[in-house]
Structure 1
Amino acid sequence: MTGPSAAVAAVRLAVSRELADLPAGSLVLVACSGGADSLALAAGTAFVVGRSARHVDEAGGVPPLRAGAVVVDHGLQDGSAAVATRAAEQCRRLGLNPVLVVPVTVRGPGGPEAAARDARYAALEEAARRTGAAAVLLGHTLDDQAETVLLGLARGSGARSLAGMPTRRGPFRRPLLRLRRAETAAACTALRLVPWQDPTNAAAPDGPRRSRVRHQLLPAAERVCVVLVD
């Protein structure tokens, strides 16, 4: 019997390392949009926690880790409720429980991207508080990290932006920060998971700022200086 693909194995290993310090019986929540990154993370988490439970059954006496998911519906696009429902169903099929769908109202200063981010993080923190979760796992990859650094530099944040996103902050953990976006997509393909394609991530000259960085600036930066992402 063949083992998992390299991409699937990489995701599982990253999740396993990130969960290694959690106390027995802890609940972790995966923030899942249904996109390739968070869907691969959900699948990897379900596998790692499921394997933990099997080992506990064999050893006896120690409560296993538990894993659920939170799907935040920002309500910014037509059909967003259906997208959230689909993502939740995918998480349930992977064996995650509980799976929460949380609609939020996006408003506030800083533009729609910043307001959506603030609403999302607030909803995730509240979900963790409500369920008693020890950690919330986010699907940011190395590509997201590079985009964050470039966006910070573009805003004039200077040296502070070079730090990028932390692996851990508060309840949030980012297991996939050393993996490329291509790896999460490959993991979904190998596991026959069909991710949602966020239309705001499509290449467009007038798209959101992060999308423009992703499709225009980051490829140019990779060609000029590979060290930005590798």
Structure 2
Amino acid sequence: MSGPPRAVAVLRHAVRAGLRASDRPVLAACSGGADSVALAAALAFEARDAGVRVGGVTVDHGLQPGSDRRAQETAGLLAGLGLDPVLVLTVQVGEAGGPEGAAREARYAALATAAAGHDARVALGHTLDDQAETVLLGLGRGSGPRSVAGMVPDRPPFWRPLLGVRRATTRQACAAQGLPVWDDPWNDDPAYTRVRLRTEVLPLLEEVLGGGVAPALARTADLLREDLDALDGLAAAELARLAAEAGDGSLPARPLEPLPAALRRRVLRGWLRAAGVPDLQAVHLRAVEALVTGWRGQGRIDLPGGAGVVRASGTLVVLPPDLRRAVPGPAPLEEPLP
């Protein structure tokens, strides 16, 4: 007795282990495109043996004519696959970050809310090709190693089981199962950077480098993510040790100085985030780091949200926003120069 078509088998294998790793319900996020439809079908099939309840969710962004009808059709497809429950979420898309970024922010917020309401994981249909595009975007924008490390396979509540599967395979799986696929016209619009990466840059790299570029980029992301996770773990342990030593929310400066720069910056970033500093950028982090590595009696370092950091008696202290006006010019908490 023959098995399923190869593409269908690849999709089912991709979701099998992750689905059985937890007994929590799963919501398959589906736009109606080939990647998410193939994911939903694979989850629906594997759920029977895994003993895990699998539902579906689709998001209506309201950005294209007939988007409400499209969302209902996608919901009908998910229900036809046997997913239960099937949710249709309507979101209001703002303007910050451009249309792509604003739609993504609204979508992820809605999916996270749905996950919390159903105590579920949300399965996303990002593929190896999406991962390669993300790595290239991160490289081109110079936005740091985490962006080059790409998307994380499993960061609750989001689960991405298809990061090792090619986009062409998801389309083949849909065709083999007779599943209808909706091609979002935005995915072919060259006004969007990611579309040009997909249709122009990656094909050129494949031609020049002799193929295998997308898998190589995804593999690089995996290797880099392992290193970054190790560094983050070391930084978290160091921060916990130093925070316990201080005991009052401050951070001893002198023990930070001999640390490798990559580790020191992670400790500082973790400390500032724990203090509630929002939208921390590299320029802010380096300014705070200079209080450790380039100490010359500097005053307060202003941070996003109105908070600030000063060095006092060998200790870094976060000043809340309401102390901004109380600390004009050089901070009175500064320690004397050696």
TM-score by length of 2: 0.61
Paired with 1:69 and 1:88, the residues of 2 have a C-alpha distance of 8
Quote the offset at 1:147 in angstroms: 0.8
- The aligned counterpart of 2:70 is 83
- The aligned counterpart of 1:224 is 208
Residues 124-139 of structure 1 mapped to structure 2, 5 A cutoff = 124-133=111-120, 135-139=121-125
Quote the offset at 1:73 in angstroms: 0.6
1:104 corresponds, among 82, 91, 99, to 91
Q: Secondary structure at the match of 2:59?
A: strand
Quote the offset at 1:20 in angstroms: 2.2
Quote the offset at 1:229 in angstroms: 1.2
Quote the offset at 1:30 in angstroms: 0.4
Query: Any unmatched runs of 5+ in structure 2?
Result: 216-338
Quote the offset at 1:160 in angstroms: 3.3
Paired with 2:149 and 2:30, the residues of 1 have a C-alpha distance of 25
Moved more, 109-118 or 147-156: 147-156
1:170 corresponds, among 156, 163, 185, to 156
Q: Does 1:197 align with 2:183?
A: yes
Moved more, 159-168 or 185-194: 159-168
- The aligned counterpart of 2:47 is 49
Q: Secondary structure at the match of 1:187?
A: helix
Paired with 1:224 and 1:158, the residues of 2 have a C-alpha distance of 26
| RMSD of equivalent CA atoms | 1.3
Quote the offset at 1:227 in angstroms: 4.6
Quote the offset at 1:142 in angstroms: 0.4
Could you say which structure has the greater relative contact order, defined with CA pairs below 8 angstroms and 6 or more residues apart? Answer: 1
Q: Secondary structure at the match of 2:65?
A: coil
Quote the offset at 1:161 in angstroms: 2.7
Paired with 1:29 and 1:222, the residues of 2 have a C-alpha distance of 35
1:115 corresponds, among 102, 118, 131, to 102
2:36 corresponds, among 35, 38, 46, to 38
Paired with 1:180 and 1:229, the residues of 2 have a C-alpha distance of 9
Paired with 2:144 and 2:72, the residues of 1 have a C-alpha distance of 40
Quote the offset at 1:158 in angstroms: 4.4
Q: Secondary structure at the match of 1:229?
A: helix
Which amino acid letter does the alignment assign opposite residue 217 of structure 1?
V
Quote the offset at 1:194 in angstroms: 1.1
> Does structure 1 retain, via aligned residues, the 8 Å contact 2:20–2:52?
no
Paired with 1:93 and 1:42, the residues of 2 have a C-alpha distance of 11
2:80 corresponds, among 77, 93, 96, to 93
Query: Any unmatched runs of 5+ in structure 1?
Result: 53-63
Residue deviations 1:42-76, cap 9 Å, x none? 00000000233xxxxxxxxxxx3100011011111
Which amino acid letter does the alignment assign opposite residue 83 of structure 2?
L
Q: Secondary structure at the match of 2:28?
A: strand
Paired with 1:16 and 1:111, the residues of 2 have a C-alpha distance of 36
Paired with 2:197 and 2:86, the residues of 1 have a C-alpha distance of 32
Q: Larger Rg: 1 or 2? A: 2
Quote the offset at 1:129 in angstroms: 1.0
Paired with 1:151 and 1:194, the residues of 2 have a C-alpha distance of 30
Quote the offset at 1:93 in angstroms: 0.3
Paired with 1:215 and 1:103, the residues of 2 have a C-alpha distance of 30
TM-score by length of 1: 0.89
Q: Secondary structure at the match of 1:71?
A: strand
- The aligned counterpart of 1:214 is 198
Residue deviations 1:118-160, cap 9 Å, x none? 1111000000111121x11000000000111111122222433
Moved more, 181-190 or 217-226: 217-226
